[in-house]
């Protein structure tokens, strides 16, 4: 009941903010429009922010020195886009599971959903401050493809799932050529560092890239199941103290597992006589256990944008990480199942832990009386003293077509869109996970920790190491750790060939815009 009440209060706060701000503003729908109307900003605007539930003003911003996202960004005070509509071709990759990339960029109106209302609010703020509109086309992409092929300057960007490297072509800008400071906190620095190659990268990731954040692999726990055995253990403090490891998870599994019918096996079932499983996940989980130990398929030879990809399958620590993952995945009380059964188990209280993408919380939120918490993926061992989180291939990123020729306008828009998303949308994203999807304040802290520790493996996202990726689950689930060295050596050659082909491809792209 408390969770529902907090959700309602957040939605009301955002609704009041947007209604006040929208009096003089009007965002655009999914068609290209332009207007000559100039919007003047006022010295003082009173609003209620969803992230803090307090009234703030432009004057208060000056007093505290902390911008609230409702004022022009320093250095961009003179920007006026003259009524331009920035139209984005947005992906709706799997609407049944909530993968609405279009809603990261535009929603039609306020609805009482705090996150959607924050997106609407951000667009209204940008309309008012910079005299522009933001619109999306989620019709499927055929109109977009025809438009950029003709050279029409209609779309400023596109999102694409499963295409971070395949999109590289002369139809898209090398985003490193834009006059944009990607070191600012509203950009995902790891994205640019991990995925740029030979000074080229054809997509961006920033505070507006919510689908990338939702696609990161995490751990959930059922709080009622947890408190039945571990009420005296603060699992969030374990995370803070870097004690959340594979071995710690095994201890939880050993103590919580319950063989209801005494047959010495642990299987998923519904009903009061069901076994209690310690940890359930899918066949994809071994990959993310390997990543959680800090391992990668492909890395950069150096951290600069000019660095290039190299296979990392022969990592000297790879076998140790794989052995630790196998120890966890083959422990009694760990169960590999399909996505549906994993969801049912966490919702009906027949498992303690489940691993899945963070966006799955939207599904769990629909379960009545479910108290759920979110945790990072555990460390392979405490000595690594860091948590690692990689998004799966549901991730979508923003690419900019070269048919849109004004690079100065593009750079200004991208900077401002990322900045105002960071100030107005990302706090609502955290609050939604704290109050709507999860059951406690600490889950919001964990979401922030997870999203700030995201990194990217070009070998996985670029499919440079597909054979090794497919073999990970076999080595972990069948405890074939002895095969690691030969598999790493065998598949490194294929990864090197794929990397060489990509480098040759991007070398042929003329980025002297």
The domain of 221 spans: 217-392+456-507
Which of 276, 289, 218 has the alpha carbon at shortest distance from 454? Answer: 218
Q: Which residue in the block uniquely carries the two structure tokens 């069901």?
A: 274
Q: Label residue 487 exposed, middle or buried (CB < 10 Å: 0-12, 13-18, 19+).
A: buried
Task: Please say if the pLDDT value at position 61 is more than 60.
Answer: no
Return the pLDDT at 30: 40
By the 10 Å C-beta count (0-12 exposed, 13-18 middle, 19+ buried), 470 is classed as: exposed
Instruction: Collect all residues with Cβ–Cβ distance below 8 Å to 183 and sequence separation of at least 6.
Output: 189
CA–CA separation, 128 and 502 (whole Å): 43
Residue 9 has pLDDT above 50, yes or no: no
pLDDT at 26 over 50: no
pLDDT at 161: 64
> Tell me: the pLDDT tens digits for 357-391?
998 988 888 788 889 999 999 999 999 999 999 99
pLDDT at 158 (0 to 100): 93
Rounded to the nearest 10 degrees, what angle do helices 114-130 and 2-22 cross at?
A: 20
Which strands, in side-by-side order, build the sheet including 84-89? 132-137, 84-89, 155-161, 396-399
Tokens of 380: 């392979």
Handedness of CA 353, 356, 358, 363 (dihedral sign): negative
CB-based burial, 491-508: b 16+ in 10 Å, e otherwise:
bbebbbebbeebeeebee
Domain assignment of residue 303, yes or no:
yes
- Listed in sequence order, the residues at least 6 apart from 205 whose beta carbon sits closer than 8 Å to its beta carbon are 187, 188, 191, 192, 212, 397, 398
Q: How far is CA 123 from the centre of its chain?
A: 21
What value does the mean pLDDT of the chain take? 86
Q: Would you say residue 410 lies in a domain?
A: no
Tokens of 366: 């629909």
Q: What is the mean pLDDT of residues 119-143?
A: 94
Structural domain contains residue 307: yes
Q: Which residue has the tokens 């706090």?
A: 427
User: What is residue 20's predicted lDDT score, i.e. its pLDDT?
Assistant: 42
**pLDDT at res. 97:** 54
Q: Would you say residue 154 lies in a domain?
A: no
With contact defined as beta carbons under 8 Å apart, do 451 and 218 qualify?
no
pLDDT at 60 over 50: no
Tell me whether residue 373 is in a domain.
yes
Tell me, yes or no, whether 112 lies in a domain.
no
Dist. CA 30–CA 85, nearest whole Å: 10
Which tens digits make up the pLDDT trace of 142-155?
899 999 999 999 99
Is 60 exceeded by the pLDDT of residue 320? yes
CATH of the domain at 316: 3.40.190.10
Identify whether the C-beta of residue 115 lies closer than 8 Å to the C-beta of residue 122.
no
Q: What is the DSSP letter of 405?
A: -
Distance CA 30, CA 86 (A): 10
Residue with tokens 């000595």: 383
Question: Does residue 66 form part of some domain?
Answer: no
Q: Stretch 215-237: mean pLDDT, rounded?
A: 96
The confidence band for 103, taking pLDDT boundaries of 50, 70 and 90, is confident
Over the stretch 172-193, which tens digit does the pLDDT of each residue have?
A: 999 999 999 999 999 999 999 9
Contacts of 375 (CB under 8 A, 6+ apart): 218, 219, 220, 221, 235, 236, 239, 244, 446
Handedness of CA 447, 101, 172, 312 (dihedral sign): positive
DSSP 8-state code for residue 422? I
468 found inside a domain: yes
Domain count, the chain: 1
Give the C-alpha separation, 119 to 352, whole Å: 34
pLDDT band at 104 (very low <50, low <70, confident <90, very high): confident
């Amino acid at each position: 009941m408390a969770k529902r009440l907090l959700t309602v209060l957040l939605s009301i706060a955002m609704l009041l903010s947007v209604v006040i701000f929208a009096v003089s503003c009007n965002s655009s729908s999914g068609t290209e429009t332009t207007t000559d109307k100039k919007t003047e900003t006022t010295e003082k605007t009173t609003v209620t922010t969803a992230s803090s539930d307090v009234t703030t003003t432009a004057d208060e911003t000056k007093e505290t020195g902390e911008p609230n996202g409702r004022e022009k960004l320093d250095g961009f005070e003179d920007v006026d886009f003259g009524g331009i509509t920035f139209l984005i071709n947005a992906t709706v990759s799997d609407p049944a599971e909530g993968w609405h990339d279009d809603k990261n960029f535009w929603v039609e109106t306020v609805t009482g959903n705090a996150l959607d209302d924050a997106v609407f609010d951000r667009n209204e703020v940008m309309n008012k401050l910079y005299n522009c509109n933001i619109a999306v086309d989620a019709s499927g992409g055929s109109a977009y493809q025809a438009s950029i092929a003709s050279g029409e300057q209609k779309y400023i960007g596109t999102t694409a799932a499963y295409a971070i490297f395949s999109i590289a072509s002369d139809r898209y800008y090398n985003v490193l050529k834009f006059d944009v400071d990607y070191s600012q906190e509203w950009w995902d620095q790891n994205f640019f560092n991990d995925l740029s190659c030979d000074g080229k990268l054809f997509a961006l990731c920033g505070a507006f890239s919510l689908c990338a954040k939702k696609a990161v692999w995490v751990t959930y726990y059922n709080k009622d199941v947890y408190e039945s055995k571990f009420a005296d253990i603060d699992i969030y403090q374990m995370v803070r103290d870097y004690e959340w490891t594979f071995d710690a998870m095994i201890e939880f599994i050993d103590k919580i597992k319950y063989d209801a019918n005494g047959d010495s096996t642990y299987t998923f079932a519904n009903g009061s006589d069901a076994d209690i499983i310690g940890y359930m996940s899918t066949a994809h989980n071994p990959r993310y256990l390997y990543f959680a130990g800090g391992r990668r398929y492909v890395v950069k030879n150096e951290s600069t944008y000019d660095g290039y990809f190299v296979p990392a399958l022969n990592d000297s620590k790879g076998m140790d990480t794989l052995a630790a993952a196998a120890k966890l995945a083959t422990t009694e009380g760990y169960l590999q199942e399909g996505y549906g059964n994993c969801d049912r188990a966490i919702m009906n209280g027949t498992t303690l832990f489940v691993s899945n993408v963070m966006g799955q919380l939207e599904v769990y939120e629909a379960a009545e009386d479910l108290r759920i918490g979110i945790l990072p993926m555990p460390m392979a061992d405490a000595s690594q003293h860091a948590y690692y989180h990689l998004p799966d291939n549901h991730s979508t990123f923003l690419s900019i077509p070269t048919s849109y020729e004004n690079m100065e306008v593009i750079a200004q828009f991208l900077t401002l869109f990322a900045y105002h998303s960071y100030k107005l949308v990302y706090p609502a994203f955290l609050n939604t996970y704290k109050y709507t999807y999860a059951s406690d304040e600490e889950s919001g802290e964990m979401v922030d920790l997870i999203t700030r520790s995201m990194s990217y493996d070009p070998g996985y996202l670029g499919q440079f190491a597909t054979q090794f990726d497919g073999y990970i689950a076999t080595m972990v689930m069948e405890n074939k750790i002895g095969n690691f060295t030969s598999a790493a050596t065998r598949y490194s050659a294929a990864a090197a060939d794929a990397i060489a082909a990509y480098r040759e491809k991007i070398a042929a792209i003329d980025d002297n815009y």
